[in-house]
Amino acid sequence: MTTWAIGDLQGCYDATQRLLEKIRFDPASDRLWFCGDLVNRGGQSLETLRLVHSLREHSEVVLGNHDLSLLAIGERPLAEKRKVNPDLQRVVLAEDADELLGWLRRQKLVHVDRELGWLMVHAGLAPQWTTEVAEQLANEVQRQLRGDGYRGLLRNMYGDKPNWSPGLRGQDRWRAIINWFTRARYCTPRGRIAIDEKGPPGTQAPGLYPWFEAPGHAQRDLNIVFGHWSTVGLTIARNVYAIDTGAVWGGKLTALRLDGDGLCVQQVPGRDVSGIPPHLRKD
């Protein structure tokens, strides 16, 4: 059995199909780990979500910020749903929207496989968090998402504050946890996220570090694979593997093999952006 982690799909269905063909994915024996942000911007979000949903018995998925945003949009009145971008409109207005979004809402924020030796998260972990703490905090939010109070969580998850503190309670606590798992890139050594910093390392303000290089961060006993940060590209730093290589921006879609000896990476071209004005190709 082969296990592959795949970077942010962001609605790039054609690229996803190319990658599955390149790695010769066999659902009878292989498994896929999707690093979140299945949807948005790629123009084929409905097809992509349906594809990943069809592979649910053979895959693990962690939620990204775009996936959570889609879930929140799915709870809006019909008139509000019609105001979002066409790519997401097609999802929330689809005849199978309830099935797709119900399944998506039950996915994880962190996936851990200690036998394999890997942890997957969409964005990052706070410097203070061990893998065990991260798993506990993810489970806390997952229980809310899967329970009767999920609508309140989706309404209140937006916002850059507060910064993480173990003493937080309720919606503030869950928002801080979600921000770390789905939005983090840079932080201070004490774990204050710099949400607005999105460039490659070396462009950030003084005193900020990539979350996985923050001085004094907790020792972690697993390899970590994550997406979210397209400007950092394919990056391997000790036991940390960044695999969002900007498929939706015309870069590549990346798969990283998690089992076996040695490093094995497979890539295919991402979305064709040649007809898209340059100012619309990035955040």
φ, ψ dihedrals at 253, nearest 5°: -105, 130
Matching CATH number, 3-135+177-274, of 3.40.50.720, 3.40.605.10, 3.60.21.10, 3.40.50.10470: 3.60.21.10
Cβ–Cβ under 8 Å, residues 21 and 73 = no
pTM, rounded to two decimals: 0.95
pLDDT in tens for each of the 283 residues of the chain?
899 999 999 999 999 999 999 999 999 999 999 999 999 999 999 999 999 999 999 999 999 999 999 999 999 999 999 999 999 999 999 999 999 999 999 999 999 999 999 999 999 999 999 999 999 999 999 999 999 999 999 999 999 999 999 999 999 999 999 999 999 999 999 999 999 999 999 999 999 999 999 999 999 999 999 999 999 999 998 899 999 999 999 999 999 999 988 899 999 999 988 766 554 555 4
- Residue 144 has a CB neighbour count (10 Å cut-off) of 19
Q: What is the pLDDT of residue 1?
A: 85
Determine the pLDDT at residue 260: 82
How many CA within 13 A on the CB side of residue 56? Answer: 12
- The full set of domain ranges for the chain reads 3-135+177-274
- State the pLDDT at residue 275: 63
Give pLDDT, residue 166.
95
Instruction: State residue 261's pLDDT score.
Output: 82
Residue carrying structure tokens 């100012």: 279
